[in-house]
Amino acid sequence: MSENIYTDESEHKLALRHLVKEDYADLKIMMDEVYPDLGGAWPEKQYRAQLTVFPEGQICIEDHGKIVAAAFSLIVDYDKFGDHHTYDQITGDAYLTTHDPLGDVLYGIEVCVSLDYRSMRLGRRLYEARKELCQSLNLKSIVAGGRIPNYKDYAHEMSPQKYIEQVKKREIYDPILTFQLSNDFEVKRVLTAYLPEDKESKGYATLLEWTNLYYEDHKSPLIGATKTSARIGCIQWQMRSLNSVDELIQQVEFFVDALSDYQCDLALLPEFFNAPLMGIDEHDSSFDSIKALAEYSSEILDAISKLAVSYNINIIAGSMPVMDNGELFNVAYLCRRDGTLESQYKLHPTPYEKRAWIMKGGNGLNVFDTDFGRIGILICYDVEFPELARLQSEKGMQMLFVPFWTDTKNAYLRVRHCAHARAIENECYVITAGSVGNLPKVDGADIQYAQSAVFSPSDFSFPHDAIMAETTPNTEMTLIVDLDLTKLEQLKNEGSVKNYLDRRRDLYKITWLGD
């Protein structure tokens, strides 16, 4: 957002733009000047948190490089707060921890204009910029709590409701409410104790709304709507000798058919579930074996994608080796039941994969939209790097799927404990599936240990040990679990602890440096 505004060419040069960290010194001077009775400017750590959480919503007007007006906002899922809230509740104490990129309302938290610029209608320019932002983001409305500072002169003779009516009729002037009404905002109700320290307004505030007439309401369709619960099927896969791809697909279809009969939304296969195909022919080295296995991946993927469509179930095809531009990668595929395909490359090959298979790590991290929620995939070792799940969580991930392949119990426990931690840290479900059994003819795949499981956050709405369900160790079987996605939203806002909301965004953040 950048707009040059010229008035009295020799005197001013105004520009509308987004705020940046370096603006804090100017902003502090202005806010200390405007709000001496309300504590002045926010601490710099709060300001930095606002820029980190929602930089698009923090805008300003500068004059010859000096900040002379500013407006701050966030996006909220308004139904979570409703019309009864305080300033601290809906803004997360001004740290914007309540910001929800998937919300439906732009909430205005502050508009401030330097006292020396009050006659230039800069507030109106900021309000127009907010409206433009609201329309660009296709949000339903702008909502804000407005101070009524002149109420201090009338509190002894009338209620705040009557005062507001008098201001509406222009029988009383209020510097804030009069301005807001002239900018097409309507008063929805009176808020009590909205900003208790506001002595001029006696703690009262108006709840104001501007409606976006261009808002396109994407209502849930009568059929095919995104679900509020998901039924997940994990396949604890038995490694067995196979003689062809057809035998492998036959075994996959057996499990897909069974899970489809139970109306599962998704079936999860383990990492390298197709490893038995390495035993079809003899190879001189482990590298030759994995390269030969990669030659089957395209055929297997095509067959599983067709199974997803014909059995009406989404399938995460564990992971398979793939040759890409002459390099070998470990790739998980999401085969949707509508026929579409997406992939997640393993970012961290294990030391064995790098040494024996010359395997490379991918460079992209994804979150996928499905007909039952937003999901992420991390292949085995990747779940041991907490930054990845955190980045996915910031993009709205509700369920994390972890196909794994471990040989010994201690290797398995690394994956299990890390997967469990990711569920608690990121307030999401984590679903794991591994393989069991032996492959005597396959180098590097002699033994497997697995106990597939579904983990939840740790709070009262979930099982006391935060384990939704788990399989019998080292036994081929399926695990079917129903996941209530509404509980995740309740946890986020009402949990005993609030890992997402309580993150100190003013102190730290995780930044993706890849493509």
Handedness of CA 186, 167, 109, 80 (dihedral sign): negative
Q: Which two tokens stand for residue 426?
A: 């990121």
d(CA 49, CA 100): 14
Angle, to 10 degrees, between the axis of helix 386-394 and the axis of helix 409-426? 30
DSSP 42: P
Handedness of CA 132, 133, 136, 141 (dihedral sign): negative
Which entry of 271, 353, 427, 476 is annotated as an active-site residue? Answer: 271
d(CA 53, CA 73): 11
End-to-end CA distance of the chain: 24
Quick check: 362 and 369 in contact, CB under 8 A? no
CB atoms within 10 A of CB 27: 20
d(CA 435, CA 297): 18
Would residue 234 show up in a list of annotated catalytic residues for this protein? no
Would residue 395 show up in a list of annotated catalytic residues for this protein? no
HSE of 415, CA atoms in CB hemisphere, 13 A: 30
d(CA 192, CA 427): 32
DSSP string across 184-206 = T-EEEEEESSSSTT-TTTTT-EE
Quick check: 21 and 51 in contact, CB under 8 A? yes
Which entry of 380, 428, 476, 487 is annotated as an active-site residue? Answer: 380
DSSP 222: S
d(CA 456, CA 386): 16
CB atoms within 10 A of CB 184: 13
What element of type H or E holds 177? helix 177-182
Would residue 219 show up in a list of annotated catalytic residues for this protein? no
Q: Among candidates 407, 387, 328, 417, which has minimal Cα distance to 510?
A: 387
Q: Among candidates 280, 291, 281, 265, which has minimal Cα distance to 484?
A: 265
d(CA 103, CA 74): 10
d(CA 16, CA 30): 16
Quick check: 102 and 131 in contact, CB under 8 A? no
Q: Which two tokens stand for residue 280?
A: 């079809």
Q: Among candidates 228, 485, 498, 512, which has minimal Cα distance to 394?
A: 512
| Tokens 């507001």 belong to residue | 164
Q: Which two tokens stand for residue 152?
A: 């201090």
DSSP 259: H
Which entry of 112, 209, 346, 418 is annotated as an active-site residue? Answer: 346
Where in the sequence numbering do the catalytic residues fall? 271, 346, 380
